[in-house]
Chain A
Amino acid sequence: MDIIVCVKHVPDTAEAELKIDASGKAVDKAGLVYDINEWDDYALEEAVRIKEKQGGTVTAITIGSEDSDSTLRKCLARGADKAIRLTDPKFAGSDSYATAKILHSVIKTMHYDLILAGLQAGDDGATAVGPILAEMLGIPHATMVKKLELATGTAKVNRELEGGLEEQIEVKLPALLAVSTGINEPRYVSIMGIRKAMQKEIKIMTLADTGLTEAEVGEQGSWTRIEKLYVPPAEKQAEPVTGTPDEIAAKIVDLLRSRGLI
């Protein structure tokens, strides 16, 4: 089974201090640490597990600048056979629609039985690339995939609905599946593994290789254009509890006691 996995190299922002840059349209990326998008990590793992079970190939594909090579190397170290990076200054400003067009331009020339993507890109993602790409390729898709069982020509898929409920559906292969976190447990890669993967080739492609025009990609080729970023207004103002750890603990205890909670 030949599997293509779409991966994105994204900044980890959970603990980082984000600053909106001078343009007001992006966050200042300086100092941010990048890694594979959380959802794509699960997609890649799922692909490698399928390959280990039934043979075939796994190709990781990304659109991104040279830094994204570290995410592709991680994929190669984890068991991907090939890696493709699509890169061009003209791709900047692409929304999910333009992103899907770029991915489509290359994937349509490749052989695949299954395409895996993440449900969403955790940075500026729109939860949209997967289904758009599937429509362009003319193949069925499913998102929020929590469980996957392959049979001949079909996949049985559990999609997560709200509140813990799931639905089981069946899609014909080839299909595109956008996975949720928790579908598996991504394996750990050793430094050795990553070093070994350094020898594997990453195929680089640019706008010229896609057959797309400049107007079809980037901001021009997108449905949405960023006007401005701003810090969300607080829903309520939390009261700060300050002091040494012991003082903070004592204040919390007072608070709980006053409410009869201890």
Chain B
Amino acid sequence: MAKLFVLAEHRQGQLRDITFEMLTKGREIAEKTGTELTAVILGSNVKEHAKALAEYAQAVILVEDPRLENFNSEAYKKVLQALIAAHKPLLIMMGHTSYGVELAPRLAAALSIPLATDLIDLAFEADQLTATRQMYGGKVNVKTVVRKAETYIATIRTATFTPQKPSPPANGQILETPSPLTEDIAEKRFLQYVLPPPGGVDITAAEKLVGVGRGIKDQANMPLMEELAKTLGAVLACSRPIVDKGWLPTDRQVGSSGKTVKPKLYLALGISGAFQHVLGMKSSDLIIAVNKDPKAPIFSFADYAVVEDLFKIVLPLKNKVNEAKAQKT
């Protein structure tokens, strides 16, 4: 039976969520295409992971090698080249993550296998792979058709498919496969993990957050945003460009490369709502977004939409909050 590969992603002893998200979507595609859902795990001392994967997949290919202890795209590329040659899978799914982004395009180019990236949906229609992703910061979706081939590679956006364990568990067979690596990867070496600097402010613990984005335009406007946050009894958080510009420290960043927050209130000011940001805040209890663009993607995640220039709202809001607080006392 032809195979459908899902590359398991793990780091520092943990299988990452994207793995189970892909296995869930992969199961649907495997059923439709009559392929065998096969988890592929590369690592060192990862038999426990292989067992966990076997609950989701019909087969698990396990390759262990000390050289695979930490992720290295060149090592992964070499191992996957060998596995692809041996099994000729219909599709290889991997996460559109820091690992997948490093590996997938290079592997695709090495083997001349068509690649589609950052997918929010994929399906085989009349024998051809169609792939859906986003463009222009999430303002537009695009459906693409991938050139016909024996094997395809797809990277899958995180938090797009909800993981579901099959019941009963798939109880897949674990196929221990010898590592094809014969020497160390000299051109690219893992050295160490670097932890984020210990933060002064823990935005994940805040009950209320005011999130500011590029729409605040100028660093000179930061004090005004801070005042509003203070009045609200909220902590100031932000989108990535604000950290990139150095207007707020890294520990204030909400999103995939920052923190995931779940406050009782998230007030988003001048944030467009790019996927990487939304990932970090969409579970907040109450989301109020202020953006002058009625088509801003943030509005499809917010509870309340204020389509307005944020600078017209901030001062009146601050004043009204002060009034309300004065009434209370």
Measuring CB to CB, which residues of chain A are less than 8 angstroms from any residue of chain B?
Answer: 13-15, 17-18, 20, 27, 96-97, 100, 119, 122-124, 126-132, 134-136, 140-144, 156, 158-172, 181-182, 185, 222-242, 245-246, 248-250, 252-253, 255-257, 259, 261-262
Are A238 and B145 interface neighbours, CB within 8 A? Answer: no
Are A225 and B240 interface neighbours, CB within 8 A? Answer: no
A contact residues around B321 at 8 Å (CB): 253, 256, 262
A contact residues around B142 at 8 Å (CB): 124, 226, 228-230
Are B259 and A13 interface neighbours, CB within 8 A? Answer: no
Q: Is the interface of B mostly helix, strand, loop or mixed?
A: mixed
Which of B36-44, B59-67, B294-302 contacts the other chain?
Answer: B294-302
Q: Is B265 among interface residues, defined by CB-CB distance under 8 A?
A: yes
Contact pattern, B 77-119, Cβ under 8 Å of A = 1, otherwise 0: 0000000000000000000111001111110111000111110
Q: Given A161-B11, A182-B244, are A127 and B117 also a contact pair (CB < 8 Å)?
A: yes
Are A234 and B256 interface neighbours, CB within 8 A? Answer: no
Measuring CB to CB, which residues of chain B are less than 8 angstroms from any residue of chain A?
Answer: 11, 70-74, 96-98, 101-106, 108-110, 114-118, 130-131, 133-147, 186-196, 208, 214, 232-233, 240-241, 243-246, 250, 253, 256-260, 264-265, 272, 282, 286, 288-289, 292-293, 295, 297, 299-308, 312-313, 316-317, 319-321, 323-325, 328
A259–B232 CA distance with the chains assembled, in angstroms: 13
Q: Given A224-B145, A231-B141, are A159 and B98 also a contact pair (CB < 8 Å)?
A: yes
In the A-B complex, the 5 residue pairs with the closest CB atoms: A234-B300, A182-B244, A164-B196, A238-B305, A249-B316
Are A181 and B191 interface neighbours, CB within 8 A? Answer: no
Chain B CB within 10 A, most for which of A123, A144, A164:
A164
A contact residues around B138 at 8 Å (CB): 232
Q: Is the interface of A mostly helix, strand, loop or mixed?
A: mixed
Are B140 and A262 interface neighbours, CB within 8 A? Answer: no
Q: List 9 A-B contacts (CB under 8 A).
A: A123-B136, A169-B188, A170-B189, A238-B303, A238-B304, A241-B305, A245-B316, A252-B304, A261-B265
Q: Which residue of B lies closest to A221 (CB)?
A: B147
A234–B299 CA distance with the chains assembled, in angstroms: 8
Are A132 and B324 interface neighbours, CB within 8 A? Answer: no
A130–B104 CA distance with the chains assembled, in angstroms: 11
A256–B265 CA distance with the chains assembled, in angstroms: 8
A185–B140 CA distance with the chains assembled, in angstroms: 29
Q: Which residue of A lies closest to B233 (CB)?
A: A262
Which of A134, A181, A240, A246 touches B316 (beta carbons < 8 Å)?
Answer: A246
Q: Which residue of A lies closest to B143 (CB)?
A: A227
Are B187 and A140 interface neighbours, CB within 8 A? Answer: yes
**New A-B contacts (12) at CB < 8 Å, excluding given A130-B105, A231-B141, A246-B316:** A14-B272, A141-B73, A160-B257, A223-B114, A227-B143, A240-B304, A246-B320, A248-B313, A248-B316, A252-B306, A253-B323, A253-B324
Which of A224, A259, A261 touches B114 (beta carbons < 8 Å)?
Answer: A224
Q: How far is the CB of A117 from chain B (nearest CB, A)?
A: 11
Q: Given A163-B259, A232-B300, A262-B232, are A224 and B317 also a contact pair (CB < 8 Å)?
A: no
A164–B193 CA distance with the chains assembled, in angstroms: 11
Are A143 and B136 interface neighbours, CB within 8 A? Answer: no
A contact residues around B147 at 8 Å (CB): 222-225
A161–B71 CA distance with the chains assembled, in angstroms: 11
Are A132 and B145 interface neighbours, CB within 8 A? Answer: no
Are A224 and B146 interface neighbours, CB within 8 A? Answer: yes
A143–B105 CA distance with the chains assembled, in angstroms: 11
Q: How far is the CB of A240 from chain B (nearest CB, A)?
A: 5
Q: How far is the CB of B282 from chain A (nearest CB, A)?
A: 8
A223–B115 CA distance with the chains assembled, in angstroms: 7
Which of A123, A131, A242, A256 touches B135 (beta carbons < 8 Å)?
Answer: A123
Q: How far is the CB of A100 from chain B (nearest CB, A)?
A: 7
Are B257 and A13 interface neighbours, CB within 8 A? Answer: no
Q: How far is the CB of A34 from chain B (nearest CB, A)?
A: 13
B contact residues around A240 at 8 Å (CB): 304-307
Which of A14, A18, A134, A182 touches B243 (beta carbons < 8 Å)?
Answer: A182
Which of B70, B74, B250 touches A140 (beta carbons < 8 Å)?
Answer: B74
B contact residues around A257 at 8 Å (CB): 324
Q: How far is the CB of B143 from chain A (nearest CB, A)?
A: 5
Q: Which residue of B lies closest to A225 (CB)?
A: B145
A240–B307 CA distance with the chains assembled, in angstroms: 8
